[in-house]
Amino acid sequence: MNQKPGSFRDPFGYIFEQNDFIFRTILSPAKKQYEEIRDEGLIQESVEQGFLIESEELTSSTAPAELNEAEYVIKHKKIPFISYPYEWSFYQLKTAALHHLKFELFLLDRGALLRDASAYNIQFIGTKPIFIDLLSIAPYKEGDYWLGHRQFCEQFLNPLLLRSLKGITHFSWYRGNLEGISAIDLYKVMSLKDKLSWKLFLHVYMQARLNSSVISKPDEAEAKAKVRKPLPKSAYKALVNQLYSWIEKLEPKDKSKTVWGDYAKHNTYLDDEVKEKHEVIFNFSNQHKPTKLIDLGCNSGDYSITALQGGAASVIGYDFDSNAIDIAFKRSRAQQLPFLPLHLDAANPSPNQGWMQTERQGFKERAKADAVIALAFIHHLAIGKNIPLNQAIQWITDIAPSGLIEFVPKDDETVCHMLSLREDIFIDYTEENFIKILSQKNKILRKTQVSLSGRKIFEFSRIY
């Protein structure tokens, strides 16, 4: 029974993990709140409507003995893969935002609300969003303000606006500031035209001004907060509905062609070569039928989907190109696939961070799977990022005990282009050396040439 480090912030209860289940403790400060929403049937209805993760209240005889000091213990099924907002595509963040707002409206109609608006309270099962923080649900009292408005703007709205208004992705900014993007910072990059928008005035400028006044004149801000008038529920709902309608229409500004955004359609493979490559992935997946497969460099998801068709139960895809993962997420969501595409800079993956560097787990800690495929990927590390070939191979093969790695030789058109404007210092980047390094800790089961230029896919199995 291990306590999850990221659950320390909420004095209402903590999260523990054991095998395939998550246990949420409800402590005495939250006892009354929990009983009220439970007795109103809100928890069960929220689960049935697809908003909230399945939640089972345990009895004293069925709850783990280690948690006997809690008032209540709730059991949840473990989310298959934990991801974070700074890894989500634009459309994934947008989907999560709309799920949160829809849930807020659902609760308001039933005499409850969400007491915060953390994006980390939403996870994805495939591309389906699910709310995971049961203790965020609280009874609504007439006149209540939306206390999560600022947090919602920082963690959902502002990152979306950054891409929608400026064509700037939120990944690095959000990862560098785990609380999202503040209204003060976003306001500084807005143009005069942006600032004339009533919606931006209300949700960005007014937020920035309020935040600044709290910093510069805390006593005055506190006095104003004490005398503010109660907010009618109709006004509360109108604010949430307005945000929902606005966010629903947001689109990325930078939808023009990117380096790899249309790679699935425009690449150096011939039609027969593409077919051969799909067959290799399908047969590998059909043979191993992995519960979880990680696809490094998934692009818009073609080979991830082939892996699912072959027998993989779920796929986590990673790519650096923002447009590629936007397309992949929309495809997966439209087809309701167990395929979750995420953003990754493989040369600078998500680290352990937050308080004591344990609050949010890094890529290495989470990226464990039954199988991994890295197609047309390793040369981007070895040549594009100067990562030593042995380190790149070890990094990939550490993810799963079996997989596929495609080796792209130096005389391939793509690698030639990469080397056209720089000195070729990569004397170890040869197929012979690739095989030598891969064979040190893995058995090479087969290799298949998939292009006239000599691209080969190697199937490996780790030697224990």
**Domain check: are 280 and 308 in the same one?**
yes
CA atoms within 13 A on the CB side of 224: 8
The C-alpha atoms of residue 117 and residue 140 are separated, in whole angstroms, by 15
Of 78, 107, 141, the residue that ends a domain is 78
Which residue range is the domain that position 91 belongs to?
A: 83-255
262 is a domain residue: no
First to last CA, the chain: 28
**Domain check: are 371 and 281 in the same one?**
yes
**Domain check: are 346 and 246 in the same one?**
no
Of 78, 108, 132, the residue that ends a domain is 78
**Domain check: are 8 and 116 in the same one?**
no
The pTM is what? 0.92
380 is a domain residue: yes
CATH assignment of the domain containing 6? 3.30.200
**Domain check: are 226 and 282 in the same one?**
no
Tokens 């400026």 — which residue?
Answer: 166
Q: Is 145 in a helix, a strand, or coil?
A: coil
261 is a domain residue: no
**Domain check: are 210 and 312 in the same one?**
no
127 is a domain residue: yes
Nearest Cα residue to 153 out of 114, 200, 108, 95:
200
CB-based contact 448:276 (threshold 8 Å): yes
**Domain check: are 225 and 289 in the same one?**
no
**Domain check: are 89 and 67 in the same one?**
no
User: Cα angle at 435 between 433 and 439, to 5 degrees?
Assistant: 120
260 is a domain residue: no
Of 45, 61, 78, the residue that ends a domain is 78
Mean pLDDT of the chain: 91
**Domain check: are 101 and 229 in the same one?**
yes
Tokens 């790679």 — which residue?
Answer: 263
The domain total for the chain is: 3
**Domain check: are 295 and 423 in the same one?**
yes
Q: Longest C-alpha distance within the chain, in Å?
A: 75
352 is a domain residue: yes
With the CA atoms of 114, 115, 118 and 122 taken in that order, what torsion angle do they form, in degrees rounded to the nearest 10? -30
263 is a domain residue: no
Q: pLDDT tens track of the chain, all 464 residues? A: 788 877 767 788 899 998 889 999 999 999 999 999 999 999 999 999 999 999 999 998 899 888 988 999 999 999 999 999 999 999 999 999 999 999 999 999 999 999 999 999 999 999 999 999 999 999 999 999 999 999 999 999 999 999 999 999 999 999 999 999 999 999 999 998 888 888 898 889 888 887 766 565 655 545 555 556 889 999 999 999 999 999 999 999 976 555 544 555 555 567 788 899 999 999 999 999 999 999 999 999 999 999 999 999 999 999 999 999 999 999 999 999 999 999 999 999 999 999 888 899 999 999 999 999 999 999 999 999 999 999 999 999 999 999 999 999 999 999 999 999 889 999 999 999 999 999 999 999 999 999 999 999 999 999 97
Return phi, psi of residue 420, to 5°. Answer: -65, -30
326 is a domain residue: yes
**Domain check: are 163 and 101 in the same one?**
yes
**Domain check: are 285 and 424 in the same one?**
yes
- Sign of CA pseudo-dihedral 109, 113, 117, 120: negative
